[in-house]
């Protein structure tokens, strides 16, 4: 029996106790350095026991029989994620270049991960793949360097750019979850000031930047959180402040256009 502790930045820690070594390996592969065996205070304790008929995953919300315990645990953790009130958590990827954080916001399968992976292969430091932790007061972006998880399509794109990362492992669970997983060699080590926010739109033929007026920025930012924040006047005041940052729509068909944009202005 093993207990692993998942300690993510700006969130409550949780533990997973399991009798299955391969689940331990999958957890380590998925969450990287945020998984430890060193005991920590946890808000949530999960158990995942392997039996003759699959796994029994128990959380404070109930018990579930499954063949895909990692997916069940990940969905559960996503659902209960409670970010520190000082943090604004956005659904996006981010890289650091010369002391500034560049944010790429898009919905799932919008190209964030592939872009972040490519940019880190071209000299940018990795900040995050999926969840941007922005400090509300200072607008610093905290590193959240869980392993990058590329889909098949993303890996194919990187192959075309000759930018396949080193040390890639395959994370696979059942027929549904299959990712190429790695942690970039060059990760940001400390919080980085926000430099630009790009609302990315991948396409087949166009590279351009489009300006956004303040209302468009606010409305786009309202769509961007990774979790459901209650909209209040104070929340909108924060978004109004954030909207004063350099926000643009970035349409790209060539990731080198994005690289040039960041590295050469």
Partner 1 sequence: MDRPLQDKALQYKILTAALHSGRDISLTVTGISMNPLMYEGDCVTVRRADTYSVGDVLVFFYKGEILIHRLLKIQNGRYFCKGDNALRLEDMTSDQIAGKAILLNGQSLPQMPDTTVALSYLVNRTFRACGYNAKITKQSGIYRFYHQILWKVEDKTMKYKKNESMDYIPSDETSLAVFDPETGDTHFFDETGIDILTILDEPCDLETLLEKLCEIYDATPDGIRSDVEEFLAKCIATKVVEVL
Regarding 168 and contact with partner 1 (CB under 8 A), the answer is: no
Kindly state the smallest distance separating residue 235's Cβ from partner 1, in Å.
9
Q: CB-wise, 214 or 263, nearer to partner 1?
A: 214
| Residues in binding contact with partner 1, number by CB under 8 A | 16
- Binding to partner 1 in span 51-90, by CB under 8 A: none
Radius of gyration of the chain from Cα atoms? 19
DSSP letter for each residue of the chain: -EEEEE--TTS--EEEEES-HHHHHHHHHHHGGGEESS----SEEEEEEEETTEEEEEETTEEEEES-HHHHHHHHHHHH----TTEEEEEEEEEEETTEEEEEE--TTSSHHHHHHHHHHTTPEEEESSEEEEETTT-EEEPB-PPEEE-HHHHHHHHHTT-PPTT-EEEEETTTEEEEEE--SSB--S-EEEEEEEEEEE-SS--EEEE--HHHHHHHHHT-BSS-PPP-HHHHHHHHHHTTSEEEEEEES-HHHHHHHHHH-
- Binding to partner 1 in span 93-152, by CB under 8 A: none
Kindly state the smallest distance separating residue 224's Cβ from partner 1, in Å.
14
Candidates 215, 228, 264, 265; binder of partner 1 (CB under 8 A) is 215
Candidates 219, 246, 256, 263; binder of partner 1 (CB under 8 A) is 219
Kindly state the smallest distance separating residue 228's Cβ from partner 1, in Å.
12
Rounded distance between C-alpha atoms, residue 234 and residue 226, angstroms: 18
Q: CB-wise, 30 or 217, nearer to partner 1?
A: 217
Q: CB-wise, 65 or 213, nearer to partner 1?
A: 213
Q: CB-wise, 190 or 228, nearer to partner 1?
A: 228
Pattern 220-249, partner 1, x by CB under 8 A: --x-------xxxx--xx-xx--xx-----
Tokens 């643009």 belong to 248
Kindly state the smallest distance separating residue 238's Cβ from partner 1, in Å.
10
Regarding 214 and contact with partner 1 (CB under 8 A), the answer is: yes
Kindly state the smallest distance separating residue 70's Cβ from partner 1, in Å.
36
The sign of the dihedral angle between the CA atoms of 201, 117, 264, 253 is negative
Q: CB-wise, 17 or 220, nearer to partner 1?
A: 220
Rounded distance between C-alpha atoms, residue 245 and residue 196, angstroms: 7
Q: CB-wise, 189 or 237, nearer to partner 1?
A: 237
- Binding to partner 1 in span 179-208, by CB under 8 A: none
Tell me which residues touch partner 1 (CB under 8 A): 213-215, 218-219, 222, 230-233, 236-237, 239-240, 243-244
């Amino acid at each position: 029996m093993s207990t692993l502790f998942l300690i993510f930045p700006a969130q409550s820690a949780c533990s997973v106790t399991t009798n299955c070594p391969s689940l331990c390996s999958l957890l380590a592969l998925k969450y990287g350095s945020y998984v430890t065996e060193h005991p920590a205070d946890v808000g949530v304790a999960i158990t995942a026991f392997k039996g003759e008929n699959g796994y029994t995953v128990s959380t404070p919300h109930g018990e579930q029989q499954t063949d895909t315990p990692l997916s069940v645990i990940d969905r559960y953790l996503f659902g209960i994620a409670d970010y520190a009130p000082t943090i604004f958590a956005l659904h996006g990827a981010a890289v650091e270049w010369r002391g500034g954080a560049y944010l790429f916001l898009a919905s799932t399968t919008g190209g964030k991960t592939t872009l972040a992976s490519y940019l880190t292969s071209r000299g940018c430091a990795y900040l995050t793949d999926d969840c941007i932790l922005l400090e509300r007061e200072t607008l610093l972006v905290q590193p959240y360097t869980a392993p990058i998880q590329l889909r098949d399509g993303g890996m194919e794109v990187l192959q075309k750019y000759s930018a396949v990362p080193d040390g890639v492992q395959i994370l696979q669970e059942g027929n549904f979850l299959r990712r190429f997983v790695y942690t970039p060699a060059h990760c940001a080590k400390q919080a980085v000031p926000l430099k630009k926010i790009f609302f990315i739109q991948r396409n087949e033929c166009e590279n351009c930047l489009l300006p956004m007026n303040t209302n468009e920025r606010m409305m786009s930012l309202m769509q961007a959180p990774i979790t459901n924040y209650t909209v209040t006047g104070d929340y909108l005041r924060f978004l109004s402040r954030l909207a004063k940052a350099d926000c643009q729509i970035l349409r790209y068909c060539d990731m080198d256009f994005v690289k040039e944009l960041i590295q050469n202005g």
